[in-house]
Amino acid sequence: MEDALIGQELGELTALAAALEEPAYRARQIYRGLYRERLSGIDRISTLPRKLRETLERDFTSGLPAVEKRFDAADGTARYLLRLADGKSIEAVFIPEAARDTLCISTQVGCPVDCRFCLTAAMGLERNLTCGEIVAQALTLARLHALEARERGLNIVMMGMGEPLLNLDAVMKATRLLADPQGVAISQRRMTVSTAGIASRIEEFARHDVRAKLAVSLNASNEEQRLRLMPITKKYRLGELLEVCRNYPLRPWEWLMFEYVLLKGVNDSDRDARDVTRLLANIKCKVNLIPFNPGPGIDFETPAAARVEAFHKIVMAAMPCFVRQPRGRDIFAACGQLKRTAQPS
């Protein structure tokens, strides 16, 4: 496989320019063309001389995925099936909102974590994505939807396929590239990484200066319930996970986010809500409630709106709590619904 340019930091591109006996400013031109102008290929970087473009095209790829399919939902959400250089496919989602846009991107092909309510889990893990493959999803969707981070709020959530903290090096490098004001320029305050609760990696994640906000999938009000819904709890016990969260070094502007998928008759009672508030007491956090998004082959149901509201009210009395409106349900783009869409949907 040829090397990809997207995924390389300015220092790496500068070394590459030197190896090609080109001046350092050529590296800055490549960097700008790929990350800031988000051009659709090496041949589009018109600031480079033709000969250099030809050399680069011969020896490298841009690293942009091929857009294989696009599914448009009635609410404006667009789900993309993207084809990588080795033929594997991943998904990324564009979610427009009144005041901002959000891109949900993947960090692995499939996922090794076995959450019982998630369609992606059925795929298992095929491989980690490279830093370039993570960044290229954002660049592709931003270009296709003409999104400009500087004009309107643009958020990135790494909540697509995969467990980001099990691909930590690539995720951290991708975050640095996405946050670079000289390049893509998406503030780290506008990026979120969502984890199923890989406690040991949360500490490692926190050691990075440039990092996204952290969201932890809680999804249960006690250990026994969580073991059933998220078998990974066997490895990272709930008590251990919450202890790591309590010690998480939040930046002054930051809150920890807990995601809670509400499953009818499983984890959505008033008692569950009260237990959640007890579990999260003493953590500076917000809770995001996600009424379950149904999917084929997944044996859970969505709670009634009144049940969601009752749960919401109890948690909200103790801490900030929001109900995430499902987006793009009709095209299986909502949370936990991403799957390999070579299958018809």
User: Where along the sequence are the contacts to ligand SF4 (CB under 6 A)?
Assistant: 111, 113, 115, 118, 120-121, 161-163, 196, 336
Task: Work out how close the CB of 222 gets to ligand SF4 at its nearest, in angstroms, rounded to a whole number.
Answer: 19
CA distance linking residue 339 with residue 89, whole number of Å: 10
Task: Work out how close the CB of 278 gets to ligand SF4 at its nearest, in angstroms, rounded to a whole number.
Answer: 24
Instruction: For ligand SF4, give the closer residue by CB, 149 or 198.
Output: 198
In degrees, to the nearest 5, what angle opens at C-alpha 169 toward C-alphas 213 and 136?
A: 80
Active site annotation includes 91? yes
129's CB contacts (< 8 A; 6+ apart) are 84, 90, 106, 107, 108, 109, 162, 167, 170
Instruction: For ligand SF4, give the closer residue by CB, 10 or 111.
Output: 111
The total of other beta-carbon atoms located within 10 Å of residue 206's CB is: 15
Task: Work out how close the CB of 289 gets to ligand SF4 at its nearest, in angstroms, rounded to a whole number.
Answer: 15
Which one is catalytic: 115, 245, 321, 335?
Answer: 335
CA distance linking residue 209 with residue 179, whole number of Å: 12
Residue 93: its H or E element: strand 89-96
Nearest Cα to Cα of residue 67 among 345, 266, 341: 341
Instruction: For ligand SF4, give the closer residue by CB, 259 or 268.
Output: 259
CA distance linking residue 334 with residue 102, whole number of Å: 13
Instruction: For ligand SF4, give the closer residue by CB, 8 or 288.
Output: 288
CA distance linking residue 230 with residue 214, whole number of Å: 18
Instruction: For ligand SF4, give the closer residue by CB, 178 or 230.
Output: 230
Which one is catalytic: 9, 37, 91, 163?
Answer: 91
Nearest Cα to Cα of residue 30 among 183, 147, 240, 235: 183
Task: Work out how close the CB of 165 gets to ligand SF4 at its nearest, in angstroms, rounded to a whole number.
Answer: 9
Task: Work out how close the CB of 113 gets to ligand SF4 at its nearest, in angstroms, rounded to a whole number.
Answer: 4
Q: Are the CB atoms for 336 and 295 separated by under 8 Å?
A: yes
Radius of gyration of the chain (CA): 21
Active site annotation includes 97? no
Active site residues: 91, 335
